[in-house]
Structure 1
Amino acid sequence: MISKKIGIVESIVDQSEGLDDIRVNLNGDIQRAYNYTKLTGEINVGDEVVLNTTAVELSLGTGGYHFVITNLNNIESNFTEGGHIMKLRYTPLQVKVDSVEEQDSIYHEKIQNFSSLDNTPVVVGTLHSMLTPFVASYKRNNPTKKLVYIMTDGAALPIYLSKNVDTLKKKGLIDKTITIGSAFGGDYDCINIYTALITAKEILDADCIFVSMGPGIAGTGTKYGFTGIEQGSILDAVEKLRGLPVAIPRISFADQRDRHRGISHHSITVLKEIVNVRVNIPITNYNEEETKYIKKQIEDNGLQEKHNIVYIKNDKTKEDLDFYELKVRSMGRNYEQDKEFFEAASTAAYYLMEVCDGSRRKNHK
């Protein structure tokens, strides 16, 4: 059972597309909460709201906020958009979307007649915090190319929760967004990764596609018990549709947990056991000690035999981020505290340019 409480809206701190960042009075204590306007409507100071307080009471880091379930001063509402496909299916908050694939969609025929991604590069990450450094480096060097972001349902379901996406779209660095599975709120909604990739290529004419979950990730400390394991099946889908699969490895030398040192055990599990196809893995040339550590991990796990490992020099990540005045943070750490993590994502952009750009991409596998 979820934990629910009634609060009074004290202030609206920030509003972006689909999301209100508010402060609520809970028995005299002022606390933070989020209101999704596409689910629960507009909100005003003084409104009485029912809140899901479960995550805060459990002291969760990921998703540790109150969320408005309903506004008691604005209870009734009507459909505002078309479509017949439901997200959050069979829950009290199920919401209908205009899915690209459905029979009445103007894009139905294009989805039906798809043949190939034609080696379009698809970069697949495991954490939402990989998005910004990749986008900064890619767009700075390819300002006229179209970049599409596909957000999976491995973490946050409403795309509105992502401040990164909001910022990158406002700066013109992400051209379009697609949400898949139970995730919703993108410029386009799709049922699964296959139709999302097809949409990015056939309908949005993407030059490059980036795929990752939204904010948050669920992990258990076990070998297979983490939502980032989806990276494997996504890479398989890219190859199946004849795209160019590129995997961003999760790399850190700041994480105090030994299992995440160098290449995280998450990435090793995916690349060694889960993904079924040969993929391209760009690795940053770090300092001598760190690179030696990573090379040993790759050798010990036989990744060089299964995949295409390419070492790339990249000292431009911070410069690219600063160029667009972008700030990054992952697991509570900023760029200076965990630069290897952010460089790994940025390096994927330089890999596309240095190794498989233009005519060379056609022969690169």
Structure 2
Amino acid sequence: MIEIKLGKVLEVNMLDEAISILTVEIAGEKYKAINYNYLTGNIGCGDTVVLNTTAVSLGLGSGGYHFVITNYSRPERDIDNKGHIMKLRYTPMQLKVMAVEEQQSQYHDKFNKFTTLNGMPVIIGELHSMLAPSCIALKYLDRDIKISYIMTDGAALPISFSNVVRELKKDGILNATITVGNAFGGDFDAINVYTGLITSYAVSKADITLIMMGPGIAGTGTKYGFSGIEQGYIIDAVNTLGGIPYLIPRIQFGDKRLRHKGISHHTITVLSEIAKTSCTVVIPKMDKRKMDYVHSQIKESHIDEKHNVIYEDGSFLADANKYFNYNFSTMGRGYAEEPEFFNSCAATVLAAYKKYKTGGNLHV
């Protein structure tokens, strides 16, 4: 069941092609709301809207937003005749996109002719909070490097929900976005992770690809019950297509939950059980006490017997962010509280960049 309320739009606080950020009134109270223009059309002050208020009522991590289901004041919309692939399939909100690989697409033949990613480094992360530090670290190392981001459908489905993506694109740090599965709204929409990877290499011509879910993550405190488990089969997909997978380990010491101390149990489960092929796991340099703890986790889980575990110094991220000036946070904690988390991103980027530099022109 979903909770539904009627509201009136008081203000349109932000508007672009994909999303409208609103202030709405419900029973005399003001709330934040989001309208996805691709789903529910244009919106304006004074419009009466039907809102999904479930997440806010439950206190879940939607950012405190209600979501527009439909606009009573503008109920009818038309579609164009381009593309026929549906996302959010068989729901009242299903929408049509032009998938990059479908027959009508100008890029269709690239998928038929594709043979290999030709050793393109692919950096795989669990949390959306890994995206900005990874992109910034890459651009700090090489201003001309071309970065694509593949957003999976493990969390938020509209890429326009991500303020981080919007800022990275605006600042020219992130060059292309690709949404796969039921995620939608990227520069390119693809049907699955495999065609998303091919899109990054053959269509957007990325030098390095980042792949991780959008804002949010589902977790239950059980061994396998978290949406970040997708990292395992992403590793396998990258290997199948001839790329080189690098996994950002989720390393935290500021989280009070023991299961996330040091290397998170999410990362350990993915690497020890879910991934059927190997990847490179980059551990950031840290103080001896923390390093000893992480090293013991690696040995106990036998990760180093299955994967290539290496060590890099990711502390250059602090200088990188002095230049780019982004506000990093994960689970409400910033760089000062969780340096190992963010330095893991930069350390992984550094290792992938070194491989890229020795790989020559991957697109020849």
Give the TM-score normalised by structure 1. Answer: 0.96
* Cα 1:17/1:249, change in 2 over 3 Å: farther
Residue 29 of structure 1 is matched in structure 2 by 29
Cα separation, 2, equivalents of 1:243 and 1:5? 47
Cα separation, 2, equivalents of 1:297 and 1:150? 29
Deviation at 1:101, TM superposition (A): 1.4
Cα separation, 1, equivalents of 2:258 and 2:62? 21
Cα separation, 1, equivalents of 2:195 and 2:266? 26
* Cα 1:217/1:2, change in 2 over 3 Å: same
Amino acid at match of 1:220: T
Residue 89 of structure 1 is matched in structure 2 by 89
* Deviation per residue, 1:107-156 (Å, 9 max, x gap): 11110110000000000000000000000000111211211000000000
Moved more, 255-264 or 101-110: 101-110
Q: Secondary structure at the match of 1:282?
A: strand
Deviation at 1:81, TM superposition (A): 6.7
Between the aligned residues of both structures, percent identity stands at: 47
Q: Does the CA-based 8 Å contact 1:119-1:361 persist in structure 2?
A: no
RMSD of equivalent CA atoms: 1.4
Cα separation, 1, equivalents of 2:356 and 2:92? 47
Gaps in structure 1 of 5+ consecutive residues = none
Cα separation, 2, equivalents of 1:114 and 1:131? 27
Cα separation, 2, equivalents of 1:229 and 1:237? 14
Moved more, 72-81 or 41-50: 72-81
* Deviation per residue, 1:181-235 (Å, 9 max, x gap): 0000000000001111111111111100000000000000000000000000001
Q: Secondary structure at the match of 2:12?
A: strand
Q: Does the CA-based 8 Å contact 2:12-2:45 persist in structure 1?
A: yes
* Cα 1:10/1:204, change in 2 over 3 Å: same
* Deviation per residue, 1:276-299 (Å, 9 max, x gap): 111101110111111111001001
* Deviation per residue, 1:247-301 (Å, 9 max, x gap): 0111100001000000000000000000011110111011111111100100111
Residue 280 of structure 2 is matched in structure 1 by 280
Cα separation, 2, equivalents of 1:282 and 1:127? 16
Q: Does the CA-based 8 Å contact 2:33-2:65 persist in structure 1?
A: yes
Give the TM-score normalised by structure 2. Answer: 0.96
Cα separation, 2, equivalents of 1:206 and 1:137? 16
Gaps in structure 2 of 5+ consecutive residues = none
Amino acid at match of 1:347: A
Q: Does the CA-based 8 Å contact 1:156-1:214 persist in structure 2?
A: yes
Residue 56 of structure 1 is matched in structure 2 by 56
Q: Does the CA-based 8 Å contact 2:180-2:192 persist in structure 1?
A: yes
Cα separation, 1, equivalents of 2:290 and 2:360? 29
Amino acid at match of 2:69: I
Q: Secondary structure at the match of 1:299?
A: helix
Cα separation, 2, equivalents of 1:224 and 1:290? 26
Residue 198 of structure 1 is matched in structure 2 by 198
Q: Does the CA-based 8 Å contact 1:146-1:207 persist in structure 2?
A: yes
Residue 358 of structure 1 is matched in structure 2 by 357
Residue 211 of structure 2 is matched in structure 1 by 211
Instruction: Figure out how many residues of one structure are paired with residues of the other and give that number.
Output: 361
Residue 313 of structure 2 is matched in structure 1 by 313
- The residue correspondences of 1:1-365 to structure 2 (distance < 5 A) are 1-62=1-62, 64-80=64-80, 82-354=82-354, 356-359=355-358
